[in-house]
Chain A
Amino acid sequence: MRLEPKRRIELERTANAVRQSIIESLVAAGSGHSAGSLDMADVFTALYFEVMRHNPKRPDWEERDRLLLSAGHICPVRYAAMAHAGYFPLEELLTLRKLGTRLQGHPERTRLESLETTSGPLGEGLAQGVGMAYGAKLDGKGFRVFVVTSDAEHQAGLHWEAAMVGGKYHLEKLISIVDRNFIQIDGGTEEVMPLEPFRAKYEAFGWEVRECNGNDMEDVVSTLRAALEATGKPQAIIAHTIPGKGVSFMENDFTWHGKPPKRDEAERALAELRQAAEKIGSAA
């Protein structure tokens, strides 16, 4: 089922606004991770605004879908999407990484209780997601567990322990969404430590795998929906993304993995994003 064109345009505009908020919060923070945050804006928008069952006014609602950000370093995208979804005021995004903030440099559940986990050390999110999905299955609960992972964290052993357990127990309501952007701190993933064949690895662990263009709203939403309808196996979605997506001088440049824009760079980035926002829908 395709998105209504009007709905798709709304979601694309939201994703653009999320990207602008990411730039604003990163430049205010003076440190943080730009590339992955920007490239996952479409996925987070799809999750918070279209796919997930959740209620920003009742973050402790027991039946809510769980969204875990395993790759905690790209939290600016999650915070921005949450703020736009109504979990907290947009202005709070400017407190990112500052003393006393709820928006820690890597997410802490005990400081921002609408998060599901504390994350940052890589390779840990899927393991906790397995626990949540197992608990839901045990109690016959209907919520789904989404775990957003980076591609490079698939180098961590624990992630594959989790994949093995998810496969053993057929946790069909568990969805691992991989940000396949091919970069990590020290360079390209295939140079640092090759991950391919990515799809075959998941399949070998008993997962059903789909791939999508992680920067195409239509593709992201339809792939997430297909994964939610599938049964019998845990679900992986390899979302192919362009690191730094939306900001021309950041795109596909691994040096933007772990740094924020400077003030003038942020102005250029915001100008580009505003320009792009105006074009959304004009081609439809």
Chain B
Amino acid sequence: MIATQDMHLVDYRNAQALRYVPTRNGFGEGLVEAARRDPQVLALCADLVESTRMQPFRDAFPARFIELGVHEQMLVAMAAGLASVGKVPFIASYAMFCPGRAWEQVRTTMCLNEANVKIAGAHAGVSVGPDGATHQAIEDIAIMRCIPNMTVLVPCDAVQTRKATLAAAQLDGPVYVRFGREKSAVVTTDATPFDVGTAQIFRDGNDVAIVACGILVYNALVAADELAQEDGIECLVLNNHSVKPMDTASVVDAARRCGVVVTVEEHQVAGGMGSAVAELLAERHPVPMQFVGVRDRFGQSGAPEELIELYGMGAASIKAAVRSAVQRKGR
């Protein structure tokens, strides 16, 4: 476990210090950097080069870029073939289409076959916004984490997405990196550590453990500060970016210290990161839990922040969940 002061976070309480950058930009930067480090890194895209941020890679390494058109199943299976001859292929589409459309290919050709393929799932979550439900992947963590051999990373901001992309390139095996479309608050810095399988305490506290991933980590931090001011509740905020393998020691320790857990993710409550935490705690250290996420509904068109609020994932909803958790703890 790493102490909060070693996280080298941005002074996120200071509006002047806060930058808003789409997490997908971090993927684009990380991919170019990974390709500079390893000549075997390739990139394959299914007609979404600009919006998945593969463009800088295509410009820098045109011979290592493969355009497949609207072929999401092909994206996965072809990449598995490339991996078998020594390549490190990154494949990118909207998470709804890859892995969404290509699940069986991910299971058979990547995971069962232990192929060294990296899936970049862009436009995950309802924060995709106006494109609506068809394009808002909110089931992808569930369908990826249940497959043996798959690593699932859900970085919290653009800087961390860059690091997750580099980490994915270095891991030997199938990896899913999930990120979003919309600008979101950057809370980490270049100095913030990042290791697959190591959760990060972004805020310390002993009353309630908020275990979050993705862009909602920032909302969790905001909620935690407001709860401290308004109710005197001190929350521990754990950035659980590594959904699989999960940092079981840190999650169990947070549950033990606080006695109650609230999970926060931009995903269906069913099967997501919170479910993974519940599976762990039910066996190792059962405590009351509240889940912040989408509750068995589809998304719809709207502004990203409107949808986050409407589907119960804004700071106000997190605060409500924490207050409920505190009540259950007191019983």
Binding site for B on A (CB under 8 A): 108-110, 116-121, 124, 127-136, 138-139, 141, 157-158, 161-162, 164-165
Contacts and interface: CB of A to CB of B under 8 A. Distances in A.
A127 B84 contact: no
B263 interface: no
28 contacts: A110-B114, A117-B80, A117-B109, A117-B113, A119-B108, A121-B108, A124-B109, A127-B81, A128-B78, A128-B80, A128-B109, A131-B79, A131-B80, A131-B83, A131-B89, A132-B81, A132-B82, A132-B85, A133-B81, A134-B81, A134-B82, A135-B84, A135-B85, A135-B86, A136-B85, A157-B73, A158-B73, A161-B68
B104 interface: yes
B74 interface: yes
Contacts of B82: 131-132, 134-135
B77 A124 contact: yes
Most central of B74, B80, B82, B108 by chain A CB within 10 Å: B74
Given A127-B73, A134-B78, A118 B84 contact: no
Interface string B55-91: 0000000011010110101100111111111110100
A161 B104 contact: no
A138 B74 CA distance: 18
Contacts of B89: 131
A161 B113 contact: no
B205 to A, nearest CB: 44
B108 A127 contact: no
B177 to A, nearest CB: 20
A79 B71 CA distance: 32
Q: Which 10 A-B pairs have the closest CB atoms?
A: A131-B81, A127-B77, A128-B81, A135-B85, A161-B74, A131-B78, A131-B82, A118-B113, A132-B81, A161-B71
Contacts of B108: 118-121, 124
Contacts of A161: 68, 71, 73-74
Given A161-B68, A164-B71, 20 more contacts: A109-B114, A117-B80, A117-B109, A117-B113, A119-B108, A121-B108, A124-B108, A127-B77, A131-B80, A131-B84, A132-B82, A132-B84, A134-B81, A135-B82, A135-B85, A138-B87, A139-B85, A158-B77, A165-B71, A165-B74
B105 interface: yes
Interface of B: 63-64, 66, 68-69, 71, 73-74, 77-87, 89, 104-105, 108-109, 112-114
Contacts of B81: 117, 127-135
Contacts of A132: 81-82, 84-85
A120 B104 CA distance: 11
A16 to B, nearest CB: 33
Nearest to B69: A164
Q: Is the interface of B mostly helix, strand, loop or mixed?
A: helix
Nearest to B78: A131
A119 B77 CA distance: 11
A119 B84 CA distance: 14
Contact of B74 (A110, A141, A162): A162
Nearest to B76: A127
A54 B12 CA distance: 60
Most central of B66, B84, B85 by chain A CB within 10 Å: B85
Contacts of A165: 68, 71, 74, 78
Nearest to A119: B108
A161 B87 CA distance: 21
Nearest to A126: B77
Contact of A124 (B66, B105, B114): B105
Given A110-B114, A158-B105, A127 B74 contact: yes
Contacts of A138: 63-64, 87
Contact of A118 (B69, B74, B87, B112): B112
A136 to B, nearest CB: 6
A131 B113 contact: no
Contacts of B63: 138
A275 B74 CA distance: 46
A231 B87 CA distance: 25
B76 to A, nearest CB: 8
Contacts of B109: 117-118, 124, 127-128
A161 B82 CA distance: 16
A116 B87 CA distance: 15
Contacts of A117: 80-81, 84, 109, 113
A164 B80 CA distance: 17
Nearest to A120: B108
Nearest to B44: A131
Nearest to B86: A135
A110 B113 CA distance: 6
B77 A128 contact: yes
A266 to B, nearest CB: 31
Contact of A162 (B78, B83, B86, B114): B78
Contacts of B104: 121
